[in-house]
Amino acid sequence: MAKRRYRVFVYGTLLTGEDNHHVAAPYVLAVCPGKVNGRLYNVGSYPALVLGEDGEVEGEWLTVTEEGLKAMDELEDYAEGRDDNEYERVWVRDACQPVEGYVYVYPPEKAAGLPPIPSGSWRRREEKM
């Protein structure tokens, strides 16, 4: 029986080469660049994505096993149906290509007052701040 695969858009510390990529790395089956419509905010040592705002956020689409999705849920302190998740896991489409999957997003009200990352890229976050 084939194992389930999940596509997840990552845009911060889970990106290849970033601090928390090791959480997903053992479960990654494929990686491709991507962008989603939204705005990135600086929470400090990690970013927050708010979907639907003007702008594009750069990241990567990781194709992972079910174990990989569970490991990322644990890192993001996400549990389905729980009211006090820091992030919510929702379905999103890429802004430029026919790719879709999950992404961890921040509620807009929690992002209020956080500094935006104008470049839309966690890797280039200091360039325009």
Residue 126 confidence (pLDDT) above 80: no
pLDDT class of 58 with cuts at 50, 70, 90:
very high
Q: Would residue 76 show up in a list of annotated catalytic residues for this protein?
A: yes
Residue 129 confidence (pLDDT) above 80: no
In a domain, residue 122? The reply is no
Strands (E), the chain: 5-10, 28-42, 47-65, 88-93, 100-105
pTM for the model? 0.93
Domain encompassing residue 37 = 5-111
CA distance 129 to 124: 9
The CATH number linked to 9 is: 3.10.490.10
**Which pair of structure tokens corresponds to residue 82?**
């729980």
In a domain, residue 129? The reply is no
What are the pLDDT digits (tens) for 68-118?
A: 999 999 999 999 999 999 999 999 999 999 999 999 999 999 999 999 999
CA distance 111 to 42: 9
In a domain, residue 59? The reply is yes
In a domain, residue 123? The reply is no
Residue 53 confidence (pLDDT) above 90: no
CA distance 5 to 84: 27
In a domain, residue 118? The reply is no
Q: Which of 76, 80, 109, 126 is catalytic?
A: 76
In a domain, residue 88? The reply is yes
As for how many domains the chain has, the answer is 1
